[in-house]
Amino acid sequence: MRIFLLLLCGLVCGLTLTACSDTRPTTAGPSAIDEQDGRVLIRDVTGKRWDVTEARNQYGILPGEFQHGLGPEAIPPILISHMLLPGEPGFPDPRADFLVIGVLLNGFTRAYPIQVLGWHEVATEKFGEAHVSVAF
Amino acid sequence: MYSREIDDQVLTLSASGWTYKNTFVLYDLETESLWYHLEGTDGLTGISGRYTGRHLPEFASTFTRWDEWIQAHPESGILSYP
């Protein structure tokens, strides 16, 4: 009888834990949404608060639908990029197979590997007099 | 690829850490305005902060494979990363 009760207890506990794990949140929205004085602020995982009042009021963007909120330091941009030119050491084999964003602007021709942009999201660039951001 | 020039100022765009509808939300380090590629529009729209309602135009770019790109543009440079 004692063994039966232990098994029953284990079964109930197991089911309870399973049920609990199934109810864990599956989204990664804002840590908090604060409304004060008509302003709406969402909080990211670092505790930084972002005012999204105009986003909601003018563009119908839902504060609760922002995702991840990793903080502005999580994905640092490339601030100073270095271009390899054909013939320079490290220039990729022309037969290599990887994805790039290619740009022709103001007489410059450049390629940005998707893998690198994936790490940084934004490369800060200048094509002649044009200041641009290459984003993926 | 987007312009980062507005009102004679050059912005530094960066990932805010947020996404919305699976698209990165950018922000500028100078004013912390949020910038987002609204569906059905070209470029980035300021959706929050000082530059709300302002626009950063998009420049043409090509999403392709390196071998195809360098064959068509043998003079092309490529972003180096250590």
Residue A21: which pLDDT band, with cuts at 50, 70 and 90?
A: very low
pLDDT at B82: 61
What are the chain B neighbours of A130 within 8 Å (beta carbons)?
3, 5, 59
Residue A92 is given by DSSP the state: P
Instruction: Assess B17–A contact: CB distance below 8 Å, yes or no.
Output: yes
Kindly give the pairing relationship between strand B62-65 and strand B23-28: unpaired
Locate B54 and state its tokens.
């302002």
What are the chain B neighbours of A119 within 8 Å (beta carbons)?
81
pLDDT at A2: 40
What are the chain A neighbours of B69 within 8 Å (beta carbons)?
100, 102, 111
pLDDT at A87: 96
What are the chain B neighbours of A102 within 8 Å (beta carbons)?
61-64, 69, 73, 76
Q: Which of B77, B12, B27, B16 is nearest to A69 (CA)?
A: B16
CA B1 – CA B80 distance, rounded (Å): 18
> In terms of pLDDT, which residue wins out, B54 or A3?
B54
pLDDT of A114 above 60: yes
Can you spell out the DSSP letters for chain B?
-EE-EETTEE--EEEEEEEETTEEEEEETTT--EEE--TT-SSEEEEESTTTT-EEPBPP-EEEEHHHHHHH-TT-EEEE--
pLDDT at A27: 55
**Percent of chain A at pLDDT above 70?**
80
Q: Mark which residues 44-63 of B lie under 8 Å from A by CB.
A: 45, 47-49, 52-53, 59-63
Distance, in angstroms, between A26 CA and closest chain B CA? 15
- Please name the residues in contact with B77: beta carbons below 8 A apart, sequence gap of 6 or more: A83, A84, A85, A86, A108, A109, A110, A111
> Splitting chain B (82 residues) into consecutive groups of 10 residues, what average pLDDT does each group show?
97 97 96 96 96 97 98 97 66
The separation between CA B19 and the C-alpha centre of its own chain, rounded to angstroms, equals 14
Instruction: Assess B41–A contact: CB distance below 8 Å, yes or no.
Output: no
CB pair distance less than 8 Å for B76 and A109: yes
pLDDT at A17: 37
From the DSSP assignment, how many helices (H) and strands (E) are in chain A? 3, 9
What's the whole-model pTM score? Answer: 0.84
Q: A121 with B18: CB under 8 angstroms? A: no
